[in-house]
Structure 1
Amino acid sequence: MMLDLLGGFGEKGRTSLTVNSGNDRILLDVGIKAGASGAEYYPALDRPIGDINALFVSHAHEDHVGALSWLLSRGYVGPIFMTAETRDEAPATLAAYADPGDLSRFPLPVNRIEIFEPGDTIEIGNLTVRTGRSGHVVGGVWFAVDDGKSRAVYTADVVPDSNVFVMDTIPHCDLLVFDASYGADPVPGAARAREISQWVARHPQGCLLPTPLSGRSLELIAALPGSCAIHTGMRSSLEAQIGASAALLPGVSDLLRARLAGAADWTDADPLPSLPLLADDGMGEAGPSSRLLPRADDAGFPVLLTGHLPAGSPGDLLHRAGRADWVRMPTHPTLSGSVDIWEKAGRPEAIGHSCTTDLLKDLKSHIPSLRTQCRIGQRIAVPQGSKS
């Protein structure tokens, strides 16, 4: 079994790879790289599209599904496997990040989507694809691909110590392609949540919290010290996420449902509230936050950014100028989580995705089998015979 690395290796964004065994080839994720342009915006997919038997999408964030219309425009005609939640959220992501021309000609092809549940196993030729809950978003999954000789696990985005979501244990494998977004950051999610809560408490006259529509929004709502406001366009999605109780930790649904019921709806026509205001997306590239960031900046309204900021994005520019604060709300593994994933997978050879080279080097001292030189365009052989 071989892997082709197409995006997200040595960099953050456009996460994508293929798994190849004999005549069978599947594509795992097809993301874009926010802040990039031209060919660097899309996966480095050079081999014929017609060789791909199936596409599997882990979740609906832009760096995992944003290039779907681009892929379709290049001639992909096969099935698209995703969960129902990913299917429902993907159109908004494509509207924000797909090329408008590609999107108008190749919107989400609902009739070609094959829905599966986290935990399902899918057969594609001689490849067996096992899935599990990611702990990152409702409907998000990891993939374990087996050809009978070896097994590779691609975690996509995972959160082993989320305060909101459930992550299923990664199985033993021969090669682990895991979410290394934070490198060797040792600060756990609970500590960051307290830091964010304290920051919000210091701004009782209101503040802006840009956030992705799915995933981190629920983590923030759970962490906030009191009432909040949400952009009104987020409410139906947040209600649906909270309703997917199988993806959430015990008791969390009731907590989040109560907090969302008490949250004030806010529209673009309203004055800035004297509450923490959640608005999507997290970088200020699209959605309500693309309008709210400059408005908050002009008004001196405090801004707290809590996730990845691509160079040159509105959030990055505001932070670099000293006009927005930043505290990471972990929605990827911190150091203890990465080591735990690797150990539970049987300490296999490992490749980190969504991570720059310098951070990978820091992580290698904790995960000795980590291969830090893997880059886009490389083909990697999966070792045989060590899985159990």
Structure 2
Amino acid sequence: MMLDLAGGFGEKGRTSLAVSSGNDRILLDVGIKVGATGAEYYPALDGPIADIDALFVSHAHEDHVGALSWLLSRGYAGPIFMTAETRAEAPVTLAGYADPGDLKRFPFPEDRIEIFEPGDMLKSGNFTVSTGRSGHVVGGVWFAVDDGKNRVVYSADVVPDSNVFAMDVIPECDLLVLDASYGADPVPGAARAHEISDWVARHSKGCLLPTPLSGRSLELIAALPGPFVIHAGMRSSLEAQIGATASLLPGVSELLLRRLRGAADWTDADPLPAVPLLADDGMGEAGPSSRLLPRADQAGFPVLLTGHLPSGSPGDLLHKARRADWIRMPTHPTLSGNVDIWQRAGRPAALGHSCGTDALYDLKSHIPSLQAECRTGQRFMVPQGSKK
């Protein structure tokens, strides 16, 4: 089995992984890289796009699905596998991050989507693709690809210690492609959530919390210490996410629904509120937060950023100018989570995606089999059969 590291290796963004065995070739995710331009914005796919038999999408965040119209514009004609939740959210992601020309000519292809549920086993040629809940977003999954000789697990984005989402155990494998977004960060998610709660409590008279529409929004709602409002455009999506109870931890949906029902809708025509305001997206690149960040900055309205800030993004620039605070809300594994995933998977050879070079080497000091030198554009041969 051969891997083409098409994006997200030694970098954050454009996450994409091609898996080949014999005449079979599939693609796992097709993301864009926020802050990049030209070819670096898209996956570095080698070989004819038409040779890809199937595309499997883990979830609808831009760094995993934002290049879908680009892929279609270059001749991809095969099936596209995703969950119903990912299908519902992907068009909004493409509207914010796809090239407008590509999106106009190749809009979201509703008729080509093959729907599956987390836990389903899928087939493409001689590949068997197992799936499991990721703990990252509603409908998000990891993929385990087996060709009868080797098994590769691509974690996509996972959260083993989420306070909201459920994650299924990743199986033993010959190669584990880890979500290394946080490198060797040792601070657990619960501690970060408490830190965010304290910050919001200190700014309870009004503050802006930019957040992705899916995933982190529910984590923040669970952590907020008091009243809040949401941008009106978020409500239907948040209600749908809370209604997908199979993706959530037991009892969480009732808590989230109560909090959401108690939150008023806010629109761009309203004055900045005297309570915390949630608005998407998390970087200020698209959606309501692209308009709200400059407005909050001009008004001296407190801003808390809680996720990845690509260099040069509006959120990054505001933070560097010390006009916004930043506390990470863990929506990826911290150190203990990734070490546990690797140990449960049988301590296999490992790659790390969505992570810069220095942080990969930090993580390697805790996961010795991590191939920290692997980069986007390289090929990688899967070690021969040790899976159970």
Alpha-carbon distance between aligned partners in 2 of 1:225 and 1:316, rounded to the nearest angstrom:
26
Partner of 1:211: 211
Deviations 1:190-223 (CA, angstroms, capped at 9, x unpaired): 0000000000011121100000000000000000
Partner of 2:300: 300
Q: How far is the alpha carbon of 1:227 from its aligned partner?
A: 1.1
Partner of 1:282: 282
Deviations 1:273-302 (CA, angstroms, capped at 9, x unpaired): 011100000000000000000000000000
> Where in structure 2 are the equivalents of 1:234-383 lying within 5 Å?
234-383=234-383
1:238 aligned partner, one-letter code = L
Alpha-carbon distance between aligned partners in 1 of 2:347 and 2:123, rounded to the nearest angstrom:
26
Alpha-carbon distance between aligned partners in 2 of 1:149 and 1:328, rounded to the nearest angstrom:
40
Equivalent residue of 2:50, what SS? helix
Alpha-carbon distance between aligned partners in 2 of 1:384 and 1:144, rounded to the nearest angstrom:
16
Q: How far is the alpha carbon of 1:21 from its aligned partner?
A: 0.3
1:270 aligned partner, one-letter code = D
Q: How far is the alpha carbon of 1:378 from its aligned partner?
A: 1.0
Equivalent residue of 1:6, what SS? strand
Alpha-carbon distance between aligned partners in 1 of 2:89 and 2:35, rounded to the nearest angstrom:
21
Equivalent residue of 2:278, what SS? strand
Q: How far is the alpha carbon of 1:45 from its aligned partner?
A: 1.1
TM-score by length of 1: 1.00
Equivalent residue of 1:161, what SS? coil
Q: How far is the alpha carbon of 1:46 from its aligned partner?
A: 2.6
1:121 is the counterpart of 2:113: no
Provide the identity percentage.
83
Partner of 2:9: 9
Alpha-carbon distance between aligned partners in 2 of 1:82 and 1:322, rounded to the nearest angstrom:
40
> Where in structure 2 are the equivalents of 1:217-236 lying within 5 Å?
217-236=217-236
Partner of 2:92: 92
The structure 1 segments of at least 4 consecutive aligned residues displaced by more than 2 Å after TM superposition are none
Partner of 1:36: 36
Alpha-carbon distance between aligned partners in 2 of 1:121 and 1:19, rounded to the nearest angstrom:
17
1:134 aligned partner, one-letter code = S
Deviations 1:218-237 (CA, angstroms, capped at 9, x unpaired): 00000000111000000000
Partner of 1:188: 188
Alpha-carbon distance between aligned partners in 2 of 1:49 and 1:310, rounded to the nearest angstrom:
28
Alpha-carbon distance between aligned partners in 2 of 1:364 and 1:125, rounded to the nearest angstrom:
34
1:143 aligned partner, one-letter code = F
TM-score by length of 2: 1.00
Equivalent residue of 1:87, what SS? helix
Alpha-carbon distance between aligned partners in 2 of 1:317 and 1:188, rounded to the nearest angstrom:
27
Equivalent residue of 1:139, what SS? coil
Q: How far is the alpha carbon of 1:123 from its aligned partner?
A: 1.1
Partner of 1:25: 25
Alpha-carbon distance between aligned partners in 1 of 2:277 and 2:20, rounded to the nearest angstrom:
45
Partner of 1:198: 198
Partner of 1:176: 176
Alpha-carbon distance between aligned partners in 2 of 1:125 and 1:384, rounded to the nearest angstrom:
20
2:104 aligned partner, one-letter code = S
Q: Structure 2: which 5+ runs fail to align?
A: none
Alpha-carbon distance between aligned partners in 2 of 1:81 and 1:386, rounded to the nearest angstrom:
28
Alpha-carbon distance between aligned partners in 2 of 1:3 and 1:121, rounded to the nearest angstrom:
21
Q: How far is the alpha carbon of 1:377 from its aligned partner?
A: 1.2
> Where in structure 2 are the equivalents of 1:23-172 lying within 5 Å?
23-172=23-172
Equivalent residue of 1:254, what SS? helix
Deviations 1:100-120 (CA, angstroms, capped at 9, x unpaired): 000000011111100000000
Deviations 1:335-376 (CA, angstroms, capped at 9, x unpaired): 000101100100000000000010011111110100100011
Alpha-carbon distance between aligned partners in 1 of 2:307 and 2:106, rounded to the nearest angstrom:
30
1:263 aligned partner, one-letter code = A
Q: How far is the alpha carbon of 1:42 from its aligned partner?
A: 0.2
Equivalent residue of 1:282, what SS? coil
2:27 aligned partner, one-letter code = L
Equivalent residue of 2:350, what SS? strand
